Structure 1
Amino acid sequence: MFTFIARRVVSALGTLLLSSVLVFLAVQALPGDVATQVLGKDATPSAVAALREKLSLDQPAWERYTEWVKGAVHGDFGASLVSGKAVGGEVGQYLGNSLLIALVTVLFAVTGSLVLGIVAGLYRDRWPDHLISTASLVGMSVPEFVVATVLVLAFSVALPLFPAVVLYGPGATTGQLLPAVWLPAASLAIVMAAYIVRMARTSVIDVMASEYVTTARLKGLSSWRVVTRHALPSALLPTLHVIALNVAWLIGGVAVVENVFNYPGIGKLMLSSVQNRDLPVIQAIALISAVVYVLCNLAADLGAMALNPKLRTRGGRAR
């Protein structure tokens, strides 16, 4: 078990290191000069040179990368080129608002999709399966911004139950943002749940047709015991990685949905930073996205180890 965990942690750290390199190179490869972009085309050459020196743009790329990684390890991502504030504090404020949406989305999307996927798998080719499968296919086919627009029309215009846009800034309290969280969370949950439902349904069907489930039934075990004790743990194994990928997808999906609802989250900050060419903020958000992706996959691997005894007893390899 220790070998399995150690190997996954080392792999996660290696992925993060590679991600930091790719993030840095991608941002540095953006066309145009950052100093000129910030100061404007009418800036004097001396002012541009002074800003380039202040931003360390006159140093070799490898030195800038090393300094950036050292600061990032300690939570110091530099200062925003637009606001002049510390990037860590500014990103943290927006990220906290996005986490509110993410928590609601994951709570409803994961639990709801697992239940629906299991029901569809257990009632294969019957009306619950047809209904759930059709709904999940629709959810997979419709982009999140279309779902968000439909929800606004339904629950903000036709039935004014929730606000269509957020009028508060990034410093808003949880109580102020809570009424505006439900529609963005529902938009993301509908799209996210569709993929998990399909995977859970397929896994349940495969496991219920396996030999050890047939053997459990022949032993006279009740259907509930067969499903809960023998089928579900194995069916959840492949579904865990789909859940992890969809949770990591929230970073990208939330950017579109937050822009629709004018929600002061990390997605809205990312879009404004790209428009303003605020490189320190862009790098910080991209690295945070990579960290979320790696942590989600690491959690999925550890969850698989908890569900599969073979990973704990055979040096981390299922045979």
Structure 2
Amino acid sequence: MVGGLMSAPAETPSSMAKLAPLIIKRVLSSLLTLFLVSLVIFTVSGLLPGDAAQEVLGQSATPEQVAALRHEMGLDRPAHLRYVTWLGGIVRGDPGMSYVANMPVSQIISDRLPNSLTLAGITAVISTVLALIIGISSAINRGGRLDSALNVTTLSLVAMPEFLIATLGVLIFSVKLLWLPSIAMVTPEAGWSAMLRSMALPVFSLTCVVVAQMARMTRAAVADQLDRPYVEMARLKGVPFSRIVLFHVMPNAVGPVVNAMALSLSYLMGGAIIVETIFNFPGLASLMVNAVTSRDMPLLQSCAMIFCATYLALMLVADIVAILANPRLRA
């Protein structure tokens, strides 16, 4: 503790009691946002060109056949009734039947969701560790050669689109060196070693995209705290610099750092469409692309809701973690 400036106030029952309404308010706000997002998703998906019944039957179908299938699918019902039915099914965990596969949407998603979660989880762990190391090291060595090198590297990665990183990865590691497969063949019977080797290039591509932005935001937050008077006072009193960074700077910088990480990690579920397409990865993002192509609205809407719910959940967790770590944010 240094002059009381860096130590967080002790948690009391009254201060903890004040947290409950704040967290409940954030949760209710997220649920309201998700409800509004569901309206947008249902409306926008209905505006897509083409007809789902026509796509299923093909161009040779007669108008009577198309009309009969539209009635069977419920597409001739008013939009507000279809929305209420669909939203009720989402709440119950039954998003309906796929127009194209003629099987429950939940079953189709359950086959793909573990692959996306595994890909996102591995990338998140690697990216978070690398971003913290790079961001903190760069902030501590501001103006030095290490800081300059890391800044140039992260800026270059931020400027490079994911399809270019993925393509370069395939050219180097698959075509030239023959180390890794260019197509992610993820099967249920594959072992962990084979699965990790197959997922190496998708993880590498996503990590390069995510870690750069996370590292830059971490650097900015830590550097801002290092310029505060309490850091100078602590150093004058002889507190080890490593202790200052770990126990005083990081708790105060955790708010923007956690939010930056949540924003970056939310990309892994919905923003990995290009990477999954390039490597033919059987994940949720590529499934949504196929749903758009085939006008499979129940499948498309369900995938979009999962992506949006994941994003809101990550931002909610980031807010709660930041509030718990930094008492000043509770105001």
1:201 is aligned to: 219
Q: Tell whether the 8 Å contact from 1:144 to 1:253 is kept in structure 2 after alignment.
A: no
The aligned counterpart of 1:188 is: 206
Match runs of 1:112-261 below 5 Å: 112-167=130-185, 173=190, 175=192, 176-261=194-279
Q: Which residue of 1 aligns with 2:41?
A: 23
Residue 174 of structure 1 and its aligned partner are, at CA, apart by 5.7
- CA-CA distance at 1:258 after TM superposition: 1.0
Distance 2:247 2:95 in 1: 48
TM-score, normalised to structure 1, is: 0.94
- Rounded to whole Å, the distance in 2 between the matches of 1:58 and 1:211 is 67
Aligned to 2:6: none
Query: What is the aligned partner in structure 2 of residue 287 from structure 1?
Result: 305
Q: Provide TM-score, normalisation by structure 2.
A: 0.91
Give the alignment partner of residue 63 of structure 2, picking from 45, 51, 54.
45
CA distance in 2, matches of 1:132, 1:208: 18
Greater Cα offset, 97-106 or 214-223: 214-223
Deviation at 1:168, TM superposition (A): 5.1
| Post-superposition offset of 1:85 | 1.4
| Cα distance in 2 for residues equivalent to 1:305 and 1:172 | 43
- Structure 2 gaps of 5+ residues are 1-18
Cα pair 1:187 1:257 within 8 Å, conserved: yes
How far off its partner does 1:14 sit? 0.5
| Structure 1 Cα separation of the partners of residues 56 and 109 of structure 2 | 20
The structure 1 residue matched to 2:86, chosen from 65, 68, 75, is 68
Q: Note the C-alpha offset of 1:173.
A: 4.5
Matched residue count: 312
Question: CA offsets per residue over residues 217-255 of structure 1, 9 Å max, x none?
Answer: 222211111111111111222111111111111123321
8 Å CA contact 1:188–1:253 kept in 2: the answer is no
Q: State the one-letter code of the partner of 1:105.
A: T
Distance 2:171 2:61 in 1: 46
Any idea what the Cα deviations from partners look like across 1:56-114, whole Å, max 9, x if unmatched?
Answer: 11111111101101101122111111111111110121111111110111011111111
Q: Percent identity?
A: 38
